[in-house]
Structure 1
Amino acid sequence: MKLMQNYMDSGRTVYADNFFSTYNLAEMLMNRRVAFVGTVRKNKTFIPHELLNPKRDVKSTLFCYHNNNIGLCSYMAKPKKPVIMLSTAHYRQSTDPLKGFKPDQILDYNKFKAGVDTMDQMLTGYSCKRSTNRWPLAMFYNMLDIAGLASFIIYDELNPAKQSDKRRSFIIELARQLVIPHMTKRATNPLVWRFAHIRQAMNLFNIKVPESCPSTSDATQQQSYAQVASKRSSCYHCAASSSKKRRKTRYNCSKCNRPICLNEHSMQLYSCKPNFPL
């Protein structure tokens, strides 16, 4: 409704895919003199069970109307796979025998759907979506995909050079620019880069992280490590290595104050006692 704010009461027709199609939306647009045509997901509660019946002939169509304004049609494109259409712009129950007996709703949708389906196709090729049961997270994934596609369209208009993997290269660079500021900030925290796999990931983005123990003069890092190394803590090198060993220790490194085990990752140093006669 917000996107159509400038086109209300204009007598136009909106074509949308099943992501947007609902009965309430079609009714609100119809009250503002805007027609709606779109596909509908089969899990919508306003669809009559007769339209979802899979035991029908292929290329057969069922029509139903509510108050003679909002219509639904079910076209059996393949066996047991009906296609549901919602329309407020078609009032005739007509099909075209020359085009597989498809109803007018599907023919008009196929004619004007280009922008909608092209966007869905491009989003499917490069998507950050993951399986989740949390609808706010699913919406957030979709917002990221659409924002990434919109930014690529702007970039393509400003840089019209032809390139076979242009969008792929753009998305890789976009992801790099989004994560580098956060990774650079995390690299300053010794509690983060003390793990080997994190240091390895940061090195892939050319983010400099310390490779050895910090200097004893760095009081801030010393204090951070002192907080990590409690009275009995896990060995730092055991936790950072790929092995599954997690040894507990009461000893800390004399240079960096990190917890260190006596079995494998430490060594004994011998020196003369002060003022010892030779």
Structure 2
Amino acid sequence: MMHLLKEHRLTSVGTVRKNKQCIPPAFLKTGKQPGSSMFGFQKDITLVSYAPKSNKVVIAMSTLHHDDKIDESTGDKNKPEIITFYNSTKAGVDVVDKLSATYNVSRNSKRWPMTIFYGILNMAAINANIIYQSNLDKSSKRTEFLRSLGLSLLNKHLQLRQTQKNIPSNIRQRISGQMGEPLRPAVENSSGRYARCADCPRKKDRKTKHVCATCRKSLCLEHAIFSCKNCAVGEASY
């Protein structure tokens, strides 16, 4: 807080963990009268210990406030202005934490770099949803937005994998369905002789009797997708 004040001329208000050794023991002592406050003053910084309950104290520090003024609008609670000012500015943090905990785009990890990265992803997704709703001037379900956002980020990768012939055809078929493209026609048996699979490397010399229902090129079982004859072409099962 002193660094922000001296180097950047920014005042700050925040809570302080009770395990800090610099806090006087009297500020941490419980059993005080509910609604009572204890102030400590130093140059450019103020420390307050507020007791919302007899068995609980809240420690806050501020470089913006320099007196022991009590907010009269809090009534019998007698909250210091430092506490009420902090409560009025931390709402955004609480909302972000709630949204991140409800529907997040990450997973739990014990590696702190991954935890930070997932936290950035969560905040980016929340901000993107706010911008999206603001641009369209309408509200949308956050779950649907996150789903469409994730799929849109995968489109380029899916398009790349779809063009790779070493990927099994059933996977490429699934990619086509995921991207909303027409599915590849099903494969049927031919009455002719064996022929080399068109999708396999020549060095494999893999022979097959199956052909594409549209272009009639030979396909082995690895690259073939079958469907019922009574079904429409392309409605293949995997």
Contact 1:75 1:83 in 2 (8 A): yes
Distance 1:50-1:188 versus aligned 2 partners, 3 A rule = farther
Structure 1 equivalent of residue 105 of structure 2: 128
Structure 1 equivalent of residue 127 of structure 2: 150
Structure 1 equivalent of residue 197 of structure 2: 216
- Give the letter for the 1:182 counterpart: H
Q: Secondary structure at the match of 1:145?
A: helix
Q: After superposition, where does 1:50-69 map in structure 2 within 5 Å?
A: 50=25, 53=28, 55-57=30-32, 58-65=34-41, 67-69=42-44
**Sequence identity, in percent?**
27
- Which of 174, 189, 214 is equivalent to 2:149? 174
How much has 1:201 moved relative to structure 2?
A: 8.6
Q: Secondary structure at the match of 2:12?
A: strand
Separation (CA, whole Å) in 2 of partners of 1:219 and 1:151: 43
Contact 1:187 1:193 in 2 (8 A): no
Structure 2 equivalent of residue 243 of structure 1: none
Q: Normalising by structure 1, what TM-score? A: 0.53
Unmatched segments (≥5 aa) in structure 1: 1-25, 227-252, 259-278
Q: After superposition, where does 1:189-200 map in structure 2 within 5 Å?
A: none
Q: Normalising by structure 2, what TM-score? A: 0.60
Structure 2 equivalent of residue 48 of structure 1: 23
Unmatched segments (≥5 aa) in structure 2: 188-195, 209-219, 223-238
Task: Report Cα offsets for 1:110-143 as digits up to 9, x if no partner.
Answer: 2344444444444444322432222221221121
Structure 1 equivalent of residue 15 of structure 2: 39
Structure 1 equivalent of residue 84 of structure 2: 107
* Count of matched residue positions in the alignment of Structure 1 and Structure 2: 199
Task: Report Cα offsets for 1:164-194 as digits up to 9, x if no partner.
Answer: x443332221111012332343455577658
Q: Secondary structure at the match of 2:154?
A: helix
Structure 2 equivalent of residue 75 of structure 1: 50
Task: Report Cα offsets for 1:42-63 as digits up to 9, x if no partner.
Answer: 3875663738847444544444
Q: How well do the aligned residues superpose, as a CA RMSD in angstroms?
A: 4.2
How much has 1:160 moved relative to structure 2?
A: 0.8
Structure 1 equivalent of residue 192 of structure 2: none
Contact 1:132 1:138 in 2 (8 A): yes
Structure 2 equivalent of residue 269 of structure 1: none
Q: Secondary structure at the match of 1:35?
A: coil
Contact 1:29 1:35 in 2 (8 A): yes
